[in-house]
Structure 1
């Protein structure tokens, strides 16, 4: 008996469209597993229902073969020589923040989808609402509108925040919904200059299964918004939540679908906020924007050079022992970072090492190098190393300033306020070069520094008003700073 002819046989059953997707790495498979075979995470594989194509697309038309339809497709979408493709520049939409525009590569590209991710309460919604107000204000005379769709707050709540940050404009449209079809209908109806969806984890599609914020829903919402943005040429700013480890919530493929991924970072204890481009199809990914969070909203910081220096860090103030300034690179920016160190006698069997803004393991290594090649024994002391205002000094180029601050605190000898130290220290005690040193030195000269202790330069560099002391070893660097041990 031929089982394939039976109505209820396996051969006549329709193939299932159910797939299982890992929310961490995007792995997919036909069977559920407790541990993802790709990334090794437990409990991240969830059921995902693929959208089924329409019945008319699966059924062949009478008299038309697949070869005929393929010929029609080739005729309707012929390839174009790359030399014949138009290179007209796209007019970007300015956000009203020069810092935001620089991170995006010059503004928002029409039809693009930008994902803004960050921790709860960091200021994502405030930044985007103020951006919406800026764009609505600039397009008021051009009859342009900005659509803000909130799935987390009501219209009254958004209006209160807009009043506080001075973002109330007549052509700024507010909508509060969690339904994907409603959100897409609003975008198609108004065709705004900019659409903001806050957030991807709160919007729900009725066409697929899954809870709000799940992998299935997030993927479906993002795909629908991207398709609408490309079709109508409307840019969309999409807010995304992050997990406990700081990664973007939802399937990893969400980051691959969108055009730009920006990370909004900051410490809740400070007002400084940093916007970084993790992915950007229309610009560089090494730019960083600086913002200041206040009760009146978010203000951009065009020159953040003085943020990570102590309040009495001007050249005319009295130098303090245990401090040294270095210059780090964050994107295309060179920022001064003040490193402070405190050295005390230890009463514990194991000396204490407490750091803030500095790599703890690197402190242990530099202490050993300082003892072996700098002839300064701090192995039995309690060491406390910190930066100012939440600055980060984890770059290898900060090694020389950390060692100088430790030596200054141990010998009770202050370093001049107009002196900075830049360089990486190897295990052999050699002071090694750092990337874009000339750019850092020019920034130091602009801020009033007169002396810089640096590694040996590969090419001649002359910076007006700056005395560059080139050293080859840690011993020479400490001697130039007056901190050499016996």
Structure 2
């Protein structure tokens, strides 16, 4: 019998498919997210004979049985059985194991692939100690932020095999660039590994054939939105294609023990393009942040099955690619000297993961003309809602008449502040500009600001103080509650504990209560 078409509805958020349209997805509970697709229905039942798991599982049916496995505890016979069922999971003959038995049978040689050098060490910090074998890693970020550059450098490090022994093949597949383009970029960056293979392709079946032929140590797919399966419905980048291609590559990674990196495009909102299920399928999700016109780049982990998501990698973009920044605070403060800045600047002692980072925050207050209404507020590097909240606290709790001021805020280095520990530095920079009182150059700030104007403690205050002290700051303004019982070694900066925003302004800017109540006019 011939093939017939049937209609299915696929959720653009989680990737689940249904036979009928519904206003709310039953799987992820999101509204108005089901998209209509036409798929072929083989009435002869041939589809059922292909095995379960969808197009992705059928595409990798030959992987594992025809190539040498890198995963040492799985045999070819086991993989042949797996391919017939469309799953990478193997049946353990002995049944369930205790945790102790599982630990004793775990092959130590299948743990991590080390990444050598400063750039490799920064990447390993985010991944939790190296690249886990058999892992599927998704790297997202804005266009031009450096995703492909970083992964080409990682490919070169893995191909060289430094720290791992002999060099081994690594396959870099691009669906967006030709091989000469990738080669030119590698030459400019100084990547010269003889075992790094470049391939320009978008058809996943062809990519899988190359993987079977090379049996590489790692594979980079740039990007997951450009590859497609002939057996899956829709064009490249559609919900079904992204889901099935990711499932196929997941099975390859788990069966063979090779690490696979996927580059993911992002939407205007900053989320990975495609179904939300993509982030559930992969083992690790990394996001690269940074402004295209700024040199600084941050690599954050939002999901990691092999380590913590607290760590952040810091890089700077250079002619030779991404260069690791071992001292982020020194890099961000390198233009800071002993002279007084013409623009009010407050230094915030923040934490990125477990690493202290000191950031400069600039503010500018300018009176608006009379009868021109309220002033304008603009913040670069800080959430607008948070900025407006802090300005309201300054006006209400610190008696600053800032309603008739245009207020601008800028975070130096292109960073985006997400930690509430920067609150105190933000309000101090605004107060300094409004009162025209400079902030001493040897003072740093740390603390959250509450709606009542109170200063609240933040985590790991001792690490922040030590980081600021190591960079030459002599005084640090902190919440009073944060220093109760705090014991610091000798040589640390002087602590200025304050209970409220008003107290911090009075003690830092050398002003009186009367000064705070003076209203500026145009």
Normalised by the size of structure 1, how large is the TM-score? 0.87
How far apart, CA to CA, are the structure 2 residues paired with 1:254 and 1:321?
45
Matches within 5 A, 1:2-401: 19-33=8-22, 38-41=29-32, 44=35, 46=37, 52-54=47-49, 76=93, 78-85=95-102, 86=104, 87-89=106-108, 90-96=110-116, 97-138=120-161, 142-309=166-333, 311=335, 313-314=336-337, 316-318=338-340, 320=342, 322-347=344-369, 348-401=372-425
Structure 1: tracts of 5 or more residues without a match: 1-7, 58-72
How many angstroms does 1:36 deviate by? 5.0
How far apart, CA to CA, are the structure 1 residues paired with 2:267 and 2:197?
30
Contact 2:13/2:33 (8 A) holds in 1: no
Q: Deviations over 1:146-204 (max 9, x none)?
A: 11122222222211111111112221111222221121121122111111111211112
Greater displacement, 115-124 / 364-373 = 364-373
How many angstroms does 1:102 deviate by? 0.7
Classify the secondary structure of the residue corresponding to 1:389.
helix
How many angstroms does 1:289 deviate by? 0.6
Number of equivalenced pairs: 458
Contact 1:35/1:44 (8 A) holds in 2: no
How many angstroms does 1:75 deviate by? 8.6
Contact 1:358/1:387 (8 A) holds in 2: yes
What is aligned with 1:460? 486
Contact 2:285/2:304 (8 A) holds in 1: yes
What is aligned with 1:448? 472
Contact 1:136/1:172 (8 A) holds in 2: yes
Classify the secondary structure of the residue corresponding to 1:336.
strand
How far apart, CA to CA, are the structure 1 residues paired with 2:266 and 2:435?
45
How many angstroms does 1:391 deviate by? 2.4
How far apart, CA to CA, are the structure 2 residues paired with 1:174 and 1:321?
49
Distance 1:207 1:74, change over 3 A: closer
How many angstroms does 1:45 deviate by? 5.1
Contact 1:478/1:484 (8 A) holds in 2: no
How far apart, CA to CA, are the structure 2 residues paired with 1:435 and 1:141?
41
How far apart, CA to CA, are the structure 1 residues paired with 2:31 and 2:343?
49
How far apart, CA to CA, are the structure 2 residues paired with 1:412 and 1:333?
33
Greater displacement, 280-289 / 410-419 = 410-419
Distance 1:367 1:32, change over 3 A: closer
Greater displacement, 244-253 / 454-463 = 454-463
How far apart, CA to CA, are the structure 2 residues paired with 1:354 and 1:328?
22
How many angstroms does 1:458 deviate by? 3.5
Q: Deviations over 1:274-327 (max 9, x none)?
A: 11111110000111111111232111112111343371x23x323556221111
Classify the secondary structure of the residue corresponding to 2:137.
strand
How many angstroms does 1:373 deviate by? 2.7
Classify the secondary structure of the residue corresponding to 2:332.
coil
How many angstroms does 1:20 deviate by? 2.3
Distance 1:419 1:49, change over 3 A: farther
Rg larger in structure: 1
Contact 2:474/2:493 (8 A) holds in 1: yes
Contact 1:321/1:412 (8 A) holds in 2: no
What is aligned with 2:71? none
What is aligned with 1:60? none
Greater displacement, 398-407 / 83-92 = 83-92
Q: Deviations over 1:364-421 (max 9, x none)?
A: 3333322333233222222122121212334322222122212211222211111012
Structure 2: tracts of 5 or more residues without a match: 53-89, 515-522
Contact 1:308/1:391 (8 A) holds in 2: no
Contact 2:220/2:262 (8 A) holds in 1: yes
How far apart, CA to CA, are the structure 2 residues paired with 1:274 and 1:251?
25
Distance 1:310 1:137, change over 3 A: closer
Distance 1:483 1:26, change over 3 A: farther
